[in-house]
Amino acid sequence: MRAAVFHEFGGPEVLRIESVETPKPGPGEVLIEVRNSALNHLDVWVRRGLPIETTMPHIGGSDIAGVVRELGPGVDGWEPGARVVIDPSISCGHCEWCRRGEPNLCDHYAIIGEHLQGGLAEYAVVPAANLFRIPDSIDFATAAAAPLAFLTAWRGIRTRGRLRPGEAVLVTGGSGGVASAAIQIAKHIGAEVHAVTTTDHLERVRALGADHVYDRATSDYSRELWQRTNKRGVDLVFDSVGEAAWKQNTRCLAKLGRIVIYGATTGPRVELDLRHVFWKQLEVIGTTMATPEEFREVMGLVFSGKLKPVVDVVLPLEQIREAHERIEAGRQFGKVVIEVSR
């Protein structure tokens, strides 16, 4: 089968299209013919060399949509030809955190396409428990654009951030896949949405449902937001920018405000004045991925049309390097999707 592979860490030049052996499904697994696989910043970080254990040579791609082709031993409830999208989270099912209903904190947690081989290949083997059926009304590219972005945003905004109707939220990096999902989820909940993005994407972010949009290239959004909210601030900040935006983000928080962190693209080290934390009674909250129940809940909203993945561009597998370069340069709005097969 054809696959986008890298044998060493580095820049986009390490990516190659190669012929590799087609995997076989084991007990409880299925073989998926991959139609589309969407990229995330995670794919870039893994390719560069995150300090994690991963498979080598490596096939990336956490977001997978395709067709069931073969069932492994013991798989019930699925049939060849089923159109499916994949929950990229893998957990052991028996550690302390799995027993507590938090498998995304599993001691042996893994993500398809990061720790394990992913979907940037004509075929992929995944656990049958991770399948979610795609309605006939949804195309494969749209389905592939949803999983990682929407499950991350759903847990971060709704579960960890506890956003409630009538509250105000600030979403940074508004043109990204997770951020574009978060804006829609916050509006679905009934919140007032503030969003930060670049000059080129102001109107597109507003079209997603943001009530107030700030251009990070031309203004200090924390000052603008502070004035717009009559010096109150917002109840929740949802951020993956990290170090470069930290001071502005914490300035934006109202009393009893929460800041939810799901990434740190500009750096992980920040300074925090603890006097502001205890005086304003703030919360700093981490989040990553989601539980299977959260995945099914948010994908149900996507497939019912209440939430809509934003597809920036669909490129063939042969243009995997260009796809990585597009994400690294920050030129995308929404998700870059790879067409693996038709």
State pLDDT tens for residues 175-202: 889 999 999 999 999 999 999 998 889 9
Predicted confidence at residue 53, as pLDDT, reads 80
Predicted confidence at residue 106, as pLDDT, reads 96
Q: How far is Cα 332 from Cα 342, in angstroms, rounded to an integer? A: 23
C-alpha dihedral sign at 104, 107, 108, 110: positive
Q: Is residue 340's pLDDT more than 90?
A: yes
Residue finishing a domain among 286, 301, 326: 286
Predicted confidence at residue 342, as pLDDT, reads 80
Domain check: are 276 and 178 in the same one? yes
Q: Which residue, among 214, 278, 270, 217, has the nearest Cα to 242 in the 3D structure? A: 270
Domain check: are 222 and 275 in the same one? yes
Q: Is residue 51's pLDDT more than 90?
A: no
Mean pLDDT within 207-221: 93
Model confidence pLDDT, tens digit, residues 303-339? 999 999 999 999 999 999 999 999 998 888 899 999 9
Q: Which residue, among 72, 5, 7, has the nearest Cα to 321 in the 3D structure? A: 5
- What number of other Cβ atoms are within 10 A of residue 138's Cβ? 18
Tell me the average pLDDT of the chain: 95
Mean pLDDT within 216-236: 94
Domain check: are 207 and 222 in the same one? yes
Q: Is residue 50's pLDDT more than 90?
A: no
Model confidence pLDDT, tens digit, residues 149-179? 999 999 999 999 999 999 999 999 988 899 9
Domain check: are 83 and 50 in the same one? yes
Mean pLDDT within 202-222: 93
Domain check: are 22 and 38 in the same one? yes
pLDDT-derived band at 205, boundaries 50, 70, 90: very high
Q: How far is Cα 226 from Cα 194, in angstroms, rounded to an integer? A: 11
Q: How far is Cα 20 from Cα 135, in angstroms, rounded to an integer? A: 31
Predicted confidence at residue 55, as pLDDT, reads 86
Domain check: are 107 and 178 in the same one? no
Give the three-state DSSP class for 97.
helix
Domain check: are 61 and 46 in the same one? yes
Q: Is residue 211's pLDDT more than 90?
A: yes
Predicted confidence at residue 39, as pLDDT, reads 96
C-alpha dihedral sign at 238, 240, 241, 246: positive
Predicted confidence at residue 83, as pLDDT, reads 98
Q: Is residue 248's pLDDT more than 90?
A: yes
Predicted confidence at residue 217, as pLDDT, reads 86
Predicted confidence at residue 163, as pLDDT, reads 98
In a domain, 304, yes or no: no
Mean pLDDT within 38-66: 92
Domain check: are 132 and 191 in the same one? no
Predicted confidence at residue 95, as pLDDT, reads 97
Predicted confidence at residue 176, as pLDDT, reads 87
Domain check: are 208 and 335 in the same one? no
Domain check: are 14 and 136 in the same one? yes
Q: Is residue 219's pLDDT more than 90?
A: no
In the chain, the number of structural domains is 2
Model confidence pLDDT, tens digit, residues 249-302? 999 999 999 999 999 888 899 998 899 899 999 999 999 999 999 999 999 999
Angle at 331 between CA 51 and CA 61, to 5 degrees: 45
- 10 Å CB burial of residue 323 (0-12, 13-18, 19+) is buried
Give the three-state DSSP class for 123.
strand
- Helix pair 177-189, 147-154: axis angle to 10 deg: 50
Give the three-state DSSP class for 125.
strand
Predicted confidence at residue 185, as pLDDT, reads 98
- What is the phi/psi pair of residue 268, to 5°? -100, -5
In a domain, 299, yes or no: no
Predicted confidence at residue 18, as pLDDT, reads 97
In a domain, 254, yes or no: yes
In a domain, 103, yes or no: yes
In a domain, 292, yes or no: no
Cβ(313)–Cβ(326) below 8 Å: yes
Domain check: are 212 and 253 in the same one? yes
- 10 Å CB burial of residue 84 (0-12, 13-18, 19+) is buried
> b/e per residue, 225-238, with b = 16+ CB within 10 A?
bbebbeeebbbbbb
Domain check: are 58 and 127 in the same one? yes
Contacts of 274 (CB under 8 A, 6+ apart): none
The amino acid occupying position 11 is G
- List own/partner pairs for 252-257 with CB under 8 A and 24 or more apart: 252/170, 252/194, 252/221, 252/222, 252/225, 252/226, 253/280, 253/282, 254/168, 254/229, 254/280, 255/280, 255/281, 256/280, 256/281, 256/282, 257/233, 257/282, 257/283
In a domain, 302, yes or no: no
In a domain, 296, yes or no: no
- Domain with 221, as residue range(s), is 150-286
Q: Is residue 74's pLDDT more than 90?
A: yes
CATH code assigned at 184: 3.90.180.10
H helix intervals, 70-212: 96-99, 140-144, 147-154, 177-189, 202-207
Structure tokens at 3: 């696959």
In a domain, 255, yes or no: yes
Predicted confidence at residue 303, as pLDDT, reads 97
The amino acid occupying position 218 is T
Model confidence pLDDT, tens digit, residues 86-105? 999 999 999 999 999 999 99
Q: Is residue 58's pLDDT more than 90?
A: yes
